[in-house]
Amino acid sequence: MLDEGDKEKLIKQFEDCGLKLDPDSIVEIFTYERFSRYKGGEYLGDFFNVSLDIKVRTKQQRKFRSVTFEESRTFSSVMKSMMPVIAYFPTFVFDFPEKIYLTSRESTKTNPFYRQLFQDILDYAGRGHTIEEHITKRIRKPEYKMEWVGFLPVFRRSTEGEKIDQVIDLASQIVTQVVYKRWNEIFHENTGKKEIQINWDVEEGLKTSQEDGTEAEADEHDIYVRFQVKDGTDRFPIKTRSLGFRWFFFLFIVHTISGRSRYGQAVGFPFR
């Protein structure tokens, strides 16, 4: 539902685009639907439908008319800017996994969700780090393509682990700042030296089935991260913290770091 302030804002934004909007074509109550499209499992983009049949004209035109295709895209952009951000949290986000695989290995159906969440954290740091380029490629270089018993000592002797440490430590710092800074602001508490610590490790890759029914040892291996709360010398997995803390953790990770509502389809928590 649009109030007078919304109408004025809508008219003003169209004026900034060189269009005059017919006030009589703006009804107070309408429907706005935003949805995602996929084809063959590939994400095509976000789209919208709105029941408002607005009329516009340029300065040179005397009568109001229906919008053109390009003008409808402008209308879409304007309407989107006026909508509150919606964040929806699927139930499973509160059951934090023990391991989040950063390689293509999928231990659970929800692993892609958490892997993308981790990439959002790297994006928020603003250093241009990506999971593939700065983490997984470091353990899957051609010279490390070998069975587990040979891979582990060779990899441990390299400097790749130190380079991964730098990326992971930055992610830990970002999450700690986002979560505990907001916690202190909202609850007026001093959380002291508490921090969110992200640790990583490598794991033997999965065996592959052969045509003769046997299994071949993997020559590419996996890397995963774990999130923990560090309080002095004590460390606790996120999943063991209270439901309230887990709710708060995801609320501010998704809202502050991810900054958008692609983690669900339904309406959940609205923010301005």
Please write the tens of the pLDDT for every residue from 86-106.
Answer: 555 555 555 678 899 999 887
Residue with tokens 């929800």: 110
Query: Angle between the 160-187 and 243-252 helix axes, to the nearest 10 degrees?
Result: 110
CB-based contact 64:57 (threshold 8 Å): yes
Q: pLDDT: is 210 or 222 the higher one? A: 222
HEC per residue, 47-81: EEEECCCCEEECCCCCCCEECCHHHHHHHHHHHHH
Amino acid identity of residue 98, one-letter, is: E
**pLDDT on residue 224:** 97
Structure confidence by residue, pLDDT tens digits, 128-186: 999 999 999 999 999 999 999 999 999 999 999 999 999 999 999 998 888 887 777 77
pTM (two decimals)? 0.61
Report the C-alpha gap between 11 and 199 in whole angstroms: 51
What does the pLDDT average to over 44-68? 82
Q: Over 50: is that where the pLDDT of 267 sits?
A: no
**pLDDT on residue 165:** 97
pLDDT-derived band at 85, boundaries 50, 70, 90: low
Report the C-alpha gap between 270 and 261 in whole angstroms: 10
Q: Which residues contact 95 (CB under 8 A, 6 or more apart)?
A: 239
